[in-house]
Amino acid sequence: MQFKSTPMIKTAAVLFVNLLTLAGCQSIPEIADASKVQQKIIAYDEQLNKKSVSEITYIDSKLKVGSTLTELEAIQYALNNNAAFKSLLIDLKIAKADLVNAGLLPNPELLFSFGVTNKPYRYAIDLPLEALWLRPIRIRSMKTEADATTYKLIQSGLTLIKDVRVAYAQAVLAQERLSVAETSSQLRSNIYELSIKRIEAGDLNGKDLLIAKNDAAIAKRDWELTQYDIKIKQVILLNLLGISDKHRSITLSANVIPACQTEEVDSLLSKSIAKRPDIIAAKFSIDSAKEKVKLSNLNWLKITGSADATSGEKNGHTLGPSVRSTVPILNQNQGVVNRAEAELERAELNLEVLKQQAVLEIRTSYLQYQQSCHNWNVLQETLMPSIEQTIQLTEQAYQEGDISYLQTLEANRQFVDIQTREVQLKADLISKQAELTRSLSHKFGDN
């Protein structure tokens, strides 16, 4: 078989090869995988970033032997095993698939007409040429969309860290609350027994005895309920960690009460707004929307390059290039363009909404954190010293015979009530600090 070649054919072939090479020069960019996202999450949290992270296999072995699980290990374990978060990480694989698909070029189409009597055979190879210069735009659009997905997942990871911190603190403080509730129940039981003796001696009326009896019953009920509360708090923590049912309970380390800080909220806003993962994700979404606008303005264009050959008058093939293109008279893709522009406008507005929401979250969580700090400081600096002094004076007066033992027990009951309040304030302070940390996207309140 013999091919006939002309300068025009050579020029078209060279142009086609150059376009194909240019389009193929841009390789598919890499995006973050699950492990890199987890590393970025840890890097955002300054407390985690400062400490060495244990291997997951080591943490799992500690759980099997019942060793103490620290808060840091609980967070790391949750980032690797929480089912809901692992489900979200699948979005990375979807984003990777979309990015690969954006970089694919369409397959050429082959037409072959068999020759019959009085009709020569013919074949043609068609390739959509517009795909060659639209490919880089598609890749940039999907790459920025994948980056947006990455930072959305980082934000979800920071939320998971906050939830684990709160659940961990609640589980630990439930143990403290049980100890205080047991002491409270014992004190109120002693008061009730003394009240019985005093009524037998005629020093107390029936109404006061009934009050003491009810008080003792309520304290015993609270102690019993606290035992259930411990199990509930551990179940919540275990669920966040993604631990199997075989680990019915775990041993936790005591919480370190965060040191209250008073950094100006405006300073926190200026440092935190720009680095919040959800805001960064929104900026990438805007970039992706801009690329989609470019793509929609060009997507109506269809240019097909063909290499058409037929059997000639003599033996061999006569090959000739041709180009087929759409004529944009009736359709310039107006609807798709308008939709892309609307999505860009929505992405830009969504960024403003997220910024306003971030400011509200930071200001609100900061005020709630400062409120918890104030309550904690008043308790530690005013109420606890006052109650402790009252107990000392009461015990001294009892030793000197100035008051009854019942009055001493009453003073101790007040102290136990303050201890109960202290445990609750610990939980509030840790919870508010965790929420502020999530809002700021970095740890706040440590020395």
Percent of the chain with pLDDT over 70: 83
Minimum mean pLDDT range among 342-346, 377-381, 426-430, 438-442: 438-442
Query: For residue 74, is pLDDT > 60?
Result: yes
Query: For residue 9, is pLDDT > 90?
Result: no
Minimum mean pLDDT range among 33-47, 217-231, 363-377, 418-432: 33-47
**Residue 319, φ and ψ in degrees, nearest 5:** -100, 130
Q: Is residue 402 part of a domain?
A: yes
Six-digit token string for 5: 């070649």
Q: What is the pLDDT of residues 270-283, one digit of tens each?
A: 888 888 999 999 99
3-state secondary structure of 247: coil
For residues 269-306, b (16+ Cβ closer than 10 Å) or e, as one string? beebbeebbbbbbbbbbbbbbbbbbebbbebebeebbb
3-state secondary structure of 391: helix
Query: For residue 62, is pLDDT > 70?
Result: no
Does 4 or 247 have the greater pLDDT score? 247
How much is the pLDDT for 3?
Answer: 43
Domain that holds residue 276: 3-440
Six-digit token string for 35: 């492990």
The single residue listed with the structure tokens 């374990």 is 77
Query: For residue 261, is pLDDT > 70?
Result: yes
How much is the pLDDT for 287?
Answer: 95
* Per-chain mean pLDDT for the chain: 82
How much is the pLDDT for 300?
Answer: 83
How much is the pLDDT for 15?
Answer: 54
Whichever domain contains 333, its CATH number is 1.20.1600.10
Six-digit token string for 406: 């019942």
**HSE-up (13 A, CA, CB side) for residue 251:** 8
DSSP structure class, residue 203: S
Q: What is the pLDDT of residues 77-97, one digit of tens each?
A: 899 889 999 999 999 999 999
Percent of the chain with pLDDT over 90: 25
Q: Is residue 252 part of a domain?
A: yes
For residues 422-447, b (16+ Cβ closer than 10 Å) or e, as one string? bbebbbbbbbbbbbbbbbbbbbbbee
What is the rounded average pLDDT of the residues 390-416? 76
Q: Is residue 447 part of a domain?
A: no
Does 249 or 186 have the greater pLDDT score? 186
What is the rounded average pLDDT of the residues 17-21? 55
Q: How confident is the model at residue 269 (pLDDT cuts 50, 70, 90)?
A: confident
Q: What is the largest CA-CA distance in the chain?
A: 135
Tell me how many domains the chain contains.
1
How much is the pLDDT for 277?
Answer: 93
How much is the pLDDT for 355?
Answer: 93
How much is the pLDDT for 153?
Answer: 95
Cα distance between residue 243 and residue 167, in whole Å: 14
Query: For residue 387, is pLDDT > 60?
Result: yes
Cα distance between residue 86 and residue 149, in whole Å: 14
Q: How confident is the model at residue 4 (pLDDT cuts 50, 70, 90)?
A: very low
59 Cβ contact list (under 8 Å, min separation 6): 69, 73, 76, 77
Does 120 or 306 have the greater pLDDT score? 306
Q: What is the pLDDT of residues 198-213, one digit of tens each?
A: 777 776 667 777 877 8
Q: Is residue 62 part of a domain?
A: yes
Query: For residue 400, is pLDDT > 90?
Result: no
How much is the pLDDT for 77?
Answer: 87
Residue 68 parent element (H or E): strand 68-69
Q: Is residue 446 part of a domain?
A: no
Q: Is residue 426 part of a domain?
A: yes
